[in-house]
């Protein structure tokens, strides 16, 4: 039976009891801002060993879905190894986090075995060269007006900002936002210039015959325009807006990753892969409606798990249309996959849940949940969720973790302990 809630819940107690008693359960969760605080430089992140042990206990019932990566100097696997011991121990005991990274093109099992299905050697070569190009281009930009930074500042900022991810090279602007706390206009200028650099990468790819290979992902963003391109969230005053600009492979969107995860889940549980054993995000349909339709057509309802989607990156901003009416620009890296989790629940008659973790208390500026207002106004909560969701948002968040990743990690650990005898 589907349970429809009329108010947002700040207390996960009943949810814990419900999930503890669900046999066929699959949690799909983001990482940064969900199980660890958002930080200016990803290399400084840390994972709680208790969280990793809980994920190990929940083996088969949890998959990660992140735009970050498993591999590399800023990859999650390094965080796992630092928290749990040597790489050998993590491999032998299956302590790595299973699931999809780089938007879905980097697949990993719990023993750290990784594959990159659907990527050509030409695409990999272009991606490998992108960080050095970004580094040099940004360096030249910062030496010129209006920035004219000292060489020592440039080198320090570049070290934190150009992320040499293997299949999702990224320009992270957080360090610049903190470097210019009293110069928002200068930061906004760099945000626009940074977007120009990523556009330059797309043009370079096109010149090499890779025009259909990549797109630019903005985090956070304001959804997509009519052409399917993500809208950058401009910096406004002290608000940083978009801070991460990623060169991503076409198809590497989290909502497509949900189908890959489900396909692998069915294969491991039933021995049959409904979408084929080699199915990957680059073969998935582009729209949410088409993804949902494919799931309805190919997944046997008898084996569909109860899904729980967990994320922290959602945006909702009012804007004036040409006719003078207010409409909403809704985006965020987690919106697509959480929306699909919700839609799959309705289509398959499952009590799927969407959980939101307030990551605003970390080092990266994000809209936060006003928990006190929410408790006092349970039937009119929208001012408490300003910038995150709105009254007409079709995505409904069932449970809010207003105290951030620490609260979610504690909940996750309790769930693992409650399910341990199973």
Convert the pLDDT of each residue in 311-359 to its tens digit: 999 999 998 877 778 889 999 999 999 999 999 999 999 999 999 999 9
Mean pLDDT, all residues of the chain = 94
The position carrying tokens 């190990």 is: 56
Strand order in the sheet with 170-172: 162-163, 170-172, 244-249, 214-219
Q: Which region holds residue 118: left if phi is over 0, alpha if psi is between -120 and 50, else beta? A: left
* CB neighbours of residue 213 within 10 Å: 22
The pLDDT score that the predictor gives to residue 421 is: 65
Q: Which two tokens stand for residue 226?
A: 């009519």
pLDDT at 2 over 50: no
Q: Is pLDDT above 70 for 67?
A: yes
Query: What is the C-alpha separation between 85 and 95, in angstroms, rounded?
Result: 10
> Given this model, what pLDDT does residue 320 score?
81
User: How high is the pLDDT of residue 113?
Assistant: 97
pLDDT of residue 3: 38
- Angle at CA 273, nearest 5°, toward 270 and 279? 155
Per residue in 261-298, pLDDT (tens digit) is 999 999 999 999 999 999 999 999 999 999 999 999 99
Q: Pairing between strand 62-65 and 99-101?
A: parallel
Give the three-class secondary structure for 63.
strand
Lowest-pLDDT range of 4-13, 88-97, 124-133, 223-232: 4-13
DSSP assignment of 304-353 equals PPEEEEEE---EEEEEE-TTS-EEEEEE-TTHHHHHHHHHHHHHHT---E
What is the model's pLDDT at position 140? 97
Residue 163 near residue 42, CB atoms below 8 Å: yes
Q: Which of the 8 DSSP states describes residue 401?
A: E
Burial per residue of 76-89, b for 16 or more beta-carbon CB atoms within 10 angstroms, e otherwise: bbbbbbebbeeeee
Between the alpha carbon of residue 159 and those of residues 131, 265, 283, 418, the distances in Å are 11, 38, 35, 43
Give the tens place of pLDDT for each residue, 219-248.
999 999 988 899 999 998 888 999 999 999
Q: Domain 13-116+252-419 classified CATH 3.40.50.1000? A: yes
In angstroms, the Cα distances linking 66 to 30, 70, 88, 337, 340 are 5, 9, 24, 11, 15
Give residue 13's pLDDT band: very low, low, confident or very high (50, 70, 90): very high
CA dist 264 and 271 (Å) reads: 10
3-state helix, strand, coil in the chain (%, to 5): 40, 15, 40
Q: What is the pLDDT of residue 7?
A: 67
Question: 25-29 and 99-101 as β-strands: parallel, antiparallel, unpaired?
Answer: unpaired
Decide if pLDDT at 81 tops 50: yes
Question: Against a cut of 0.85, is the pTM above it?
Answer: yes
Fill in the DSSP letter of residue 305. Answer: P
DSSP letters for 246-274: EEEETT--HHHHHHHHHHHHHHHHHS--T
Could you tell me how far CA 263 lies from the centroid of its own chain? 20
Bond before 220 cis per omega within 30 degrees:
yes
Boundaries of every domain in the chain? 13-116+252-419, 121-166+169-249
Let me know: does 304 contact 351? Beta carbons within 8 Å. Answer: no
pLDDT at 5 over 90: no
Q: Give me the helix-helix angle, 13-20 and 405-419, nearest 10°.
A: 30
């Amino acid at each position: 039976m589907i349970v429809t809630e009329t108010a947002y819940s700040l207390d996960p107690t009943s949810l814990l009891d419900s999930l503890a008693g669900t046999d066929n359960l699959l949690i799909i969760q983001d990482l940064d801002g969900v199980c660890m605080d958002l930080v200016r430089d990803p290399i400084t992140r840390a994972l709680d060993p208790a969280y990793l042990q809980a994920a190990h206990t929940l083996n088969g019932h949890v998959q990660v879905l992140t735009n970050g990566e498993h591999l590399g100097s800023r990859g999650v696997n390094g965080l796992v190894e630092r928290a749990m011991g040597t790489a050998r121990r993590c491999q032998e005991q299956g302590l790595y986090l299973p699931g999809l990274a780089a938007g879905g093109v980097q697949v990993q099992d719990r023993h750290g075995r990784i594959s990159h299905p659907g990527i050509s050697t030409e695409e990999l070569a272009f991606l490998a060269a992108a960080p050095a190009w970004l580094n040099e281009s940004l360096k030249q930009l910062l030496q010129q007006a209006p920035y004219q930074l000292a060489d020592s500042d440039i080198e320090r900022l570049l070290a934190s900002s150009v992320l040499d991810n293997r299949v999702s090279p990224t320009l992270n602007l957080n360090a610049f936002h903190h470097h210019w706390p009293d110069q928002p206009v200068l930061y906004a200028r760099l945000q626009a210039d940074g977007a120009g650099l990523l556009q330059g990468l797309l043009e370079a790819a096109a010149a090499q015959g890779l025009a259909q290979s990549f797109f630019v992902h903005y985090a956070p963003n304001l959804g997509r325009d009519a052409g399917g391109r993500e809208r950058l969230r401009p910096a406004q005053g002290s608000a940083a807006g978009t801070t991460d600009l990623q060169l991503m492979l076409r198809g590497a969107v989290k909502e497509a990753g949900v189908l890959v995860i489900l396909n692998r889940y069915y294969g491991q549980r039933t021995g049959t892969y409904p979408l084929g054993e080699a199915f990957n995000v680059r073969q998935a349909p582009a729209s949410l409606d088409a993804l949902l339709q494919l799931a309805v057509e190919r997944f046997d309802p008898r084996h569909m798990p109860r899904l729980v989607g967990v994320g922290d990156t959602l945006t909702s901003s009012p804007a004036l249309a040409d006719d003078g009416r207010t409409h909403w620009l809704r985006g965020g890296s987690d919106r697509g996959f959480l929306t699909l989790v919700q839609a799959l629940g309705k289509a398959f008659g499952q009590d799927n849940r969407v959980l939101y973790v307030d990551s605003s208390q970390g080092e990266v500026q994000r809209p936060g949940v006003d928990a006190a207002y929410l408790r006092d106004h349970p039937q009119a909560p929208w001012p408490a969720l300003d910038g995150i969701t709105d009254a007409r948002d079709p995505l409904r968040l069932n449970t809010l973790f207003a105290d951030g990743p620490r609260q979610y990690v504690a909940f996750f650990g309790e769930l693992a302990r409650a399910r341990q005898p199973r």
